[in-house]
Amino acid sequence: MTMWLPLLGLILGVSLGLLSDIQIPQIYSNYLSIAVLAALDTLFGGIRAHLQQIYDDKVFISGFFFNIALAAGLAFLGVHLGVDLYLAAVFAFGVRLFQNIAVIRRVLLSKWSERSKVSETKVQE
Amino acid sequence: MMRMAKKMSKDKKRGNYLLYSLVFLVLGFIFAFSYRTLGKDNSESAQSPTFQQEEQYRGELIAQKERNKELADEIQSKQVEIHKFEKSFSENEDNHSFLVNEAKDLRLLLGVIPAAGSGVRVTLMDGDYDPVEQNPNDYIVHESHVLRVVNELKISGAQGIAINGQRISSNSYIKCTGPVIKIDGRTFPAPFVIEAIGDSEVLSSSLNLSGGVIDGLVYENIVVTMEPMRDIRLPALRDES
């Protein structure tokens, strides 16, 4: 039953986000996009770590919230300094996202080929 | 001891699931929220709301003006129709010719139909002056000058008056707005051509009275030209604005 708790959280979050009637000004939309990127990055990082068997709960969960806060804070600082620091965050998270996805793909590919090899050897027997 | 460790790990796992659900809740919320706010922003409010409102008001104003113009045209055509009808009526019944003539005169005075006939044309132009040394106010045509001419023409029995092609009725107003004047809400610059239909001899002699209107205008440095005209055509009154 506890397995379904994260899914329930996801559904709850999505419905909250869709139903809530909060309007944020256009200026802060950058922060939101940064937060989205950070969340995606951490998520894929977690999947990659899991596949590489170096996964750690604390790292994942702390990284999730810390990355979001850090990215938003960086964008905030950038707006107040007059430097488009949020571009740096977008760049960094984008690159890492692609790297993570590439690693996941490679790991999955190698696993799949291993499995097919095993099945082939089984067939040969 | 082993059992304790197992239980602890189970507790830990449950705690992890709770944390995961928290993570996914935040994730889902951020995704849905950004989808709702940003995805909509791009399509709808690419232009600022004030601009959109201004554009809307402008469109409404244009539509309203066009409608006014249509209605004014309609009124004019209807007046011409009525006039024609009355003409045919007068042909039929001579007794009513007097009333019809009076109606015609009144209509000329109101300016609702185009008028044609003999009369005078008075042109008021700004006097020549040196803007460095002289005060331009002493040399340009003011609305009071136009008013004086119009009043004199009215007094001497002009049936219809128009300034720069704008028909003057008994309800018309002439207003000074800087170097130009406003007649019934329309702006006209100098020179002002005042055309009046009536007995051209009476009109010109009353304007030319010594110490009268034209003398006064010339004294105030305005270039006045007056000519009797055989055929003057005045447009009908249009006040669509």
Verify that B153 and B239 share a domain, yes or no.
yes
Q: Does B28 touch chain A (CB under 8 A)?
A: yes
Residue B173 sits in a domain whose CATH number is 3.30.70.1880
Looking at residue B71, its pLDDT comes to 95
- Closest partner CB to A9 (pick from B13, B21, B38): B21
pLDDT, one tens digit per residue, over A49-78 is: 888 888 888 888 888 888 888 888 887 888
Q: Is the pLDDT of residue A23 over 80?
A: no
Looking at residue B29, its pLDDT comes to 82
For testing contact with chain A, the best of B31, B41, B42, B45 (most A CBs within 10 A) = B31
CB contact under 8 A, B26 and A20: no
Residue B58: which H helix or E strand, with range? helix B49-92
Assess if residue B84 is contained within a domain.
yes
Number of domains forming the structure of chain B: 2
Query: Which ranges of chain A would DSSP assign to H, the alpha helix?
Result: 5-19, 29-51, 57-81, 85-124
Q: Which residue has the higher pLDDT, A47 or B43?
A: A47
Parent domain of B139: 114-241
Residue after which a domain boundary falls, among B89, B113, B137 = B113
Residues of chain B with C-beta less than 8 angstroms from the C-beta of A23: 37
Verify that B120 and B232 share a domain, yes or no.
yes
Let me know: does B61 contact A43? Beta carbons within 8 Å: no
**Distance in angstroms (rounded) separating the CA atoms of residues B64 and A8:** 57
pLDDT, one tens digit per residue, over A26-41 is: 667 777 888 888 888 8
DSSP B74-113: HHHHHHHHHHHHHHHHHHH-GGGHHHHHHHHHHHHHHT-S
Residue after which a domain boundary falls, among B113, B134, B154 = B113
Provide the number of CB pairs (under 8 Å) joining chain A to chain B: 99
Verify that B180 and B239 share a domain, yes or no.
yes
Among left, alpha and beta (phi > 0; psi -120 to 50; other), residue B211 is: left
Let me know: does B166 contact B194? Beta carbons within 8 Å: no
**By C-alpha distance, which of B91, B70, B89, B93 is closest to B81?**
B89
Residues of chain A with C-beta less than 8 angstroms from the C-beta of B27: 10, 13, 39, 43, 64
**By C-alpha distance, which of B149, B147, B139, B143 is closest to B182?**
B143
Let me know: does A69 contact A16? Beta carbons within 8 Å: no
Assess if residue B205 is contained within a domain.
yes
Looking at residue A1, its pLDDT comes to 57
Verify that B174 and B239 share a domain, yes or no.
yes
**Distance in angstroms (rounded) separating the CA atoms of residues B230 and B200:** 8
Tell me the shortest Cα–Cα distance from A41 to chain B, in angstroms.
11
Verify that B96 and B118 share a domain, yes or no.
no
Q: Which residue has the higher pLDDT, B100 or A107?
A: A107
CB A84: neighbour CB atoms within 10 A?
13
Assess if residue B15 is contained within a domain.
no
Cβ-Cβ contacts under 8 Å for B115 (sequence gap 6 or more): B108, B159, B160, B197, B233, B234
Q: Does B44 touch chain A (CB under 8 A)?
A: no
Tell me the shortest Cα–Cα distance from A125 to chain B, in angstroms.
41
pLDDT, one tens digit per residue, over A76-89 is: 888 788 877 778 88
Beta strand B186-188 pairing with B180-183? antiparallel
Let me know: does B201 contact B231? Beta carbons within 8 Å: no
Verify that B161 and B204 share a domain, yes or no.
yes
For testing contact with chain B, the best of A4, A12, A14 (most B CBs within 10 A) = A14
Assess if residue B75 is contained within a domain.
yes
Tell me the C-alpha to C-alpha distance, in Å, between residue A90 and each of A32, A38, A95, B107: 11, 9, 8, 77
Verify that B97 and B191 share a domain, yes or no.
no
Verify that B159 and B189 share a domain, yes or no.
yes
Looking at residue B15, its pLDDT comes to 67
Looking at residue B33, its pLDDT comes to 79
Verify that B185 and B215 share a domain, yes or no.
yes
**By C-alpha distance, which of B236, B238, B239, B240 is closest to B116?**
B236
CB contact under 8 A, B33 and A32: yes
Q: Which residues of chain B have pLDDT under 70?
A: 1-15, 38-47, 93-95, 239-241
Tell me the shortest Cα–Cα distance from B15 to chain A, in angstroms.
10
Verify that B197 and B149 share a domain, yes or no.
yes
Tell me the shortest Cα–Cα distance from B129 to chain A, in angstroms.
57
Q: What does the angle CA B105 – CA B107 – CA B113 come to, to the nearest 5 degrees?
A: 120
Verify that B81 and B108 share a domain, yes or no.
yes
Enumerate the domain spans of chain A.
27-124
